[in-house]
Structures are given as C-alpha cells and as structure tokens.
Amino acid sequence: MNPYLPCYEYIPDGEPHEFDGRVYLYGSHDKFKGSGYCLQDYVCYSAPSNDLTDWRYEGVIYRRTDDPDNRDGRMCLYAPDVTKGPDGKYYLYYVLDLVPYVSVARCDTPCGKYEFYGYVHYKDGQRAGERPGDEALFDPGVLTEGNRTYLYTGFCMPDNESRHGAFVSVLDRDMLTIIEEPRFVLPSKPYAEGTGFEGHEYFEAPSIRKYGDLYYLIYSSVKFHELCYATSTSPLEGFKFRGVIVSNTDTGIDSYKNADTPAFYGANNHGSIIRLDSGDYVFYHRHTDGTNFSRQGCIERIRIEEDGNIPQAEMTSTGASSVNFPGKGSYPAYIACNLFCDREQTYTGDPGTFLGPEFPRITQDGVDDPKDDGYISNMVSSTTCGFKYFDLENLDTVAVWVRGFVDGDFSFRIGINGEVLGKVHIEKENYWARHEISFPPVTMKKAPLYFEYRGKGALQFLKFEL
C-alpha cells in the first residue's frame, strides 16, 4: 500500500536501484515534526525485485557526521543517489545542505556501511561547485556506463537568472574526477523560451535512467508537485520534454475530477522510475502533517511505452500492488490517496509554514514511533478522504474508528462524486470509537471509496473495516 514503508518512516527523494535481484531504496531522511528537511541519517530499505510490497529495513548506511566537513553534525544530508562503479563497489553521491559541492562515500555492498571517499573535483583538484563561475551542485543523480559516470545536478529557483538549469559532468573511472566539463541539459525558467519545456521548466531533483536506446532524465519542475521527464539518445545532450509522470496533488489527472483540481496537499517532489520484470514503477513522495518537512515515499505502477512515452500515473492507495484491495478487512486511514475540503488548496505552504487550521492532514501522535499508528487529523467540515481501489462483493456495512469533540455526520460513498450510501452521526468522542455505516449491498470491481465529514469541530479518523 501507499506509503510503502511503515507509517512512522519518512524517506523522501526515493532513488530505487536493482542490484542482484533486489531493489534498494536510497533517499534522504525526514523527521516527523521536524524543523527542516532531511534531519536524519541515511537509511536503506530493500525488497525482492519481483515484489515491491515486501520491504526490509537494512539499517543506517551513512551518518551526516561521517563527512569530514561535517563532524559537528551541523549540516543535513540532502537527497542522494547510488551507482555501481566499474570496480564493482557502490558509490553514494550526496550534498550537505550548506555547501555547493558533491561528496562521495563508498561501500562493498549496496546497503552496508558506506565510508567517506572524497569530493567530486576537476583535474586540478579543485572541488566542483567552488570554482569561479560554477553553479552550485545539488541533488546529484548518477549513471555509470563502462568506465564513465554521468553526474547530473542543479538547483534553480524559478526567478533566479544566475541558474541556467540542470547540468551533467562526466566522471573518470575513479568516480571523482571530472573529465568532461559540465554542460546544461535542461533549462531553468528564465532560459526555457522556445525549448519545449515552457510551463515545466527545471527546478531540482535530476534522476537518470536508461531503458532501451533512451536516456530518461526525471526531474522536479517549477510547479514543485510534479515529476517530469525528458528523453534523449545521448546522456550529454538533446533532451526533449516528454511529460509529467506523477503529481503529488494528482493535478493533471482528469479520470475522476477536473485535471486542474488538486486532490491532495502537495509541495516539492523528487523520485525516479525503475523497470523490473514485474513492471514499470515511479517512486515519489507525499507530504504529511500539513508541512513540507515530514515526507513519505509512495510508488505507482506506470507504463513505459515502446516509443518512450509514460502516461501520467494516478495516485492510489494500492501503490506497487498489481491487484486491488479485497473488499473485506481492516485498512488504516493514513493510506488515503485523496484528502481535501471545500476550500481548494494545492500546496502545504512555503517551507517552514503549515497548512492552516481549516485544512485536514495525515499525522501521528508520537515522533517516529513504531508503536504509533498514523491517522487523518483535523477533518473540518467538508473534509473528504479517498482510498483506491477495492473489489467489492455484497458490501453492506463499513465500520469506522473516529474520535473528536465534534457534532456532525460521517458519510460513505463510492466515487468522488458518488451518491452517499450511508452515514453515521458522531459527537463528543474523546477516544477512538467504532461506528457502523450500513447501506444496501454493493458489488463492484475497482471501486474508489470516499468518506466525508460535515458538522461542527474537527474529526480524527484512524481506520475502517469492510
């Protein structure tokens, strides 16, 4: 289900890589109720290549104090990437939050303890990003082919004319030395006119993959909430904008709503794609607790077509699963893929701010506590949450667990605009209380389930049972 890791785990910026029959997930590491991005050390999860629903915690692979420039731990580890070098070792590329250069750590295995290795530098030894005229390195994405490693990086606020876009450098066999000068491959907003990237200009988060004859450069656009992609037959030039792969607001999806209407509260996005024998997938992240700083990883199944086209994926609760949820059993409310109220809002707000008290959010009581279940909080009147998808057979009762000093109705329907099938009145529940909603039997394949609260106060929603 989505999120695909435990509900107390906050790993955004997901970079999935397949090594020896397993998929290893690398990303930054947020903290619930954190005061900023990426406050924790790098950890790794892995799953069998044929089952991306079976994730295993591999432990801490690198601490922020392992970098010699950060022994005091005052800087954070931003989004990393990993590649297997020509020597068979694994190389972790990352940027600390207050510096403009890329650091590299190395390990003999995909998820062992990485040791600091060095900094990406020019042939004269000067660190890339510190030379006069260099643009800052940020969000490294790497791909190794033979003895050459392609390093993509760049951070471009939409109104900053000093940043030209994403750029690529070629590294030597030592995985550190730049042997081909950086060149720009994706345009920032001030330099996108006439390029085909208009409206989806480069912001951050480059990630590179190659499938067939095409290189796929995935990135976060100036819209922040969407992951876009460009393709080329060369890793160094000729990238053409192709489209949006996923949005963490579901903007662009018109199968169940207007394409411009957000169905979740989003902000920045970062992730990548992976092609496995079991199918094609996109990894991305969603925002929780009404803030930018508590992000959770999600997966959707995608389809990479023969010509390289990738239709935009719809956000779901089922995630990597190839089948719908059964229409029986218990499901946590935090797997909601849609969450909104009558007051339309696309973003959680500027970094450091929260959604106001008039908006719902996914949250938890404790701080990164394995014993603490996530839930939907602050369900003000008109709040709607959606879960996709279920196969229903003669369903006639839904039990819900809710709490809150409220006075209102909690209703159930199938489809975002579906008829209300049943509802229950709730008032003054200070502890999680079970309520049943009954209705005429329903049998339906691929049913989207929606719950809505209308009334006084703000309800909290823990789980439901079919």
429 and 396 in contact (C-beta within 8 Å)? no
To the query of whether residue 204 is one of the catalytic residues in this protein, the response is yes
What is the 8-class DSSP label of residue 312?
Answer: P
The rounded radius of gyration (Å) of the Cα atoms in the chain is: 23
Angle value at C-alpha 40, between 37 and 41, nearest 5 degrees = 130
State how far the Cα of 169 lies from the Cα of 179, in Å rounded to an integer.
8
> C-alpha distances in angstroms, 176 versus 9, 43, 234, 236, 313?
32, 23, 22, 18, 36
Write down the catalytic residue from 9, 13, 67, 289.
13
**What is the 8-class DSSP label of residue 238?**
-
Is 237 assigned a catalytic role?
Answer: no
| Cα separation, 118 vs 106, whole angstroms | 9
CA 148 from chain center: how many Å?
A: 29
Distance of CA 58 to the CA centre of its chain: 20
Measure CA of the first residue to CA of the last residue in the chain; give whole Å: 16
Catalytic site residue from 30, 66, 139, 204 = 204
Contact 278, 52 (CB under 8 A): yes
Please give the positions annotated as active site: 13, 204
